[in-house]
Amino acid sequence: EAGVAQSPRYKIIEKRQSVAFWCNPISGHATLYWYQQILGQGPKLLIQFQNNGVVDDSQLPKDRFSAERLKGVDSTLKIQPAKLEDSAVYLCASSLVGGLAVYNEQFFGPGTRLTVL
């Protein structure tokens, strides 16, 4: 079974530039998550999709971050404009079911390491 795919693996940009990350979840997984992981910290949830609808985006800085999941499969996360403090690893995860099925394990991709100069 193929895992969660993410690209690019690394990205270096200057502040105020824009950047986009792509995620392809495990086939058949209804729930998709984007996390931000700053060095030395645990992953922080940015946004959670159930199929192509947003379940939770309470910690997404909506003035600069946006995400979409068209057709309930692939997803993109965009930052525009980037700030220095956005330097982090951006992780995508998926789970078979979300919502009321509370015990689902999450499968993570390898992440995209973003450096903002």
Partner 1 sequence: SQKIEQNSEALNIQEGKTATLTCNYTNYSPAYLQWYRQDPGRGPVFLLLIRENEKEKRKERLKVTFDTTLKQSLFHITASQPADSATYLCALPPYSSASKIIFGSGTRLSIRP
**Footprint of partner 1 (CB under 8 A):** 4, 31, 33, 40-45, 48, 55-56, 91, 93, 98-103, 105-111
Q: Which one-letter DSSP state was computed for residue 8?
A: -
Our CB check for partner 1 shows the closer of 17 and 104 to be: 104
In the complex, the smallest distance separating the C-beta of residue 94 from partner 1, rounded to whole angstroms, is 11
Q: Rounded to the nearest whole angstrom, what is the least distance from the CB of residue 16 to partner 1 in the complex? A: 28
* Residue (21 or 109) nearer to partner 1, CB: 109
Nearest-angstrom CA–CA distance, 18 and 25: 23
The phi and psi torsions of 82 (rounded to 5 degrees) equal -80, 150
- CA 73/CA 13 separation, integer angstroms: 27
Please, what sign has the CA dihedral across residues 101, 104, 110, 112? positive
Cβ proximity to partner 1, 33 vs 65, nearer residue: 33
Minimum CB separation of residue 81 from partner 1 in Å reads: 26
